[in-house]
Structure 1
Amino acid sequence: MGKIGVALTLAGTAALLPGCYPEAAACPAIGHIAGVSLSVAASYADQVGTLRLKACQDGTCTEKDLDLHPGAVAVDQGCTPDGVCSATSSPDGTLLGSIELPTLSESPLEATVSGTSPSGTALPTRTLTFTPRGDYPYGEQCGRVISAAVSLDEDGLSQT
């Protein structure tokens, strides 16, 4: 085999080598905001006019009036014979709001919700101490995401 044959063989072998190693998995370019999200149950939403959320963790408290937005669920629209599937969003009667925190860790967090009814009367103040959850929703190679979410209904606050 001549010099050109050896060069071509080496180039072909070098081109195949990357196939022997696992490729790095791509991570989504989604930013994560440290904060607490709150959902108001559909059965309680009509009793809520305004809400204020106070979140305290590791000696730091953040408090804010929540901008409440209607919640929704995805409704399956089915698939076509060629495999194209779709869904649409449908209001579910819930209300959603959130508060941004300077940082969020997996140490206990105290959430306190107060507010008023649509007629302006005070709602009961509800407090819950819970531990935010950490998970790897995109795989361990993409880093740990910590989330804190609570739900409010006529019985009080609960972690979701």
Structure 2
Amino acid sequence: MKNNKPMKILALDPSGTSTTGIFLFENWTNWKIISYTDKNYLNQAKNIQELAKKEQVNLIVCEVSSLWEKSRHNYHFLDLIKLTGIIEWISQELGIEFVPISNQYMNRWKAEAKERKIAGLSFKQIQGKTGRPKGVWYFKDRELNDHEKDALLIFWIYWVKFKKREWPFTN
């Protein structure tokens, strides 16, 4: 922490061409989950930069891909790479610590979440509009899109797996 500001953490699941999920954490009673949807990675970067400035964020925790070689190299993926680089640059320019979180083990952590091993985060099968069941993620009874869920998971990974801190949220 610098200048005795309260710690504010911005956890991101970036997407260069669709929706970026965001978990903004200040403390266990002051947090929010939001997302930005835009097909242009530069607009997404601008929104993230404005949010980081407005909220006076101290730390950005960002999902990065470890699967470069295995991915399909299309413009979506290239824009994701560009956005991730810009987020790291924004962090540097604003004097914010940047922590990349590899998505290499994301499937394992999603499985833990589905097994209700992450307090507050749950997965439920509900009746879809077409009559078929669909899976929906919830955090503390708030419905999440997949990107918001991934941003929360990125924060959980940082807080619990990296920092070895207790996860105080409850179901």
Q: TM-score, normalised to structure 1's length?
A: 0.24
Return the index of the structure with the highest Cα Rg: 1
Between Structure 1 and Structure 2, which shows a larger proportion of strand residues? Answer: 1
Structure ranking higher in helix proportion: 2
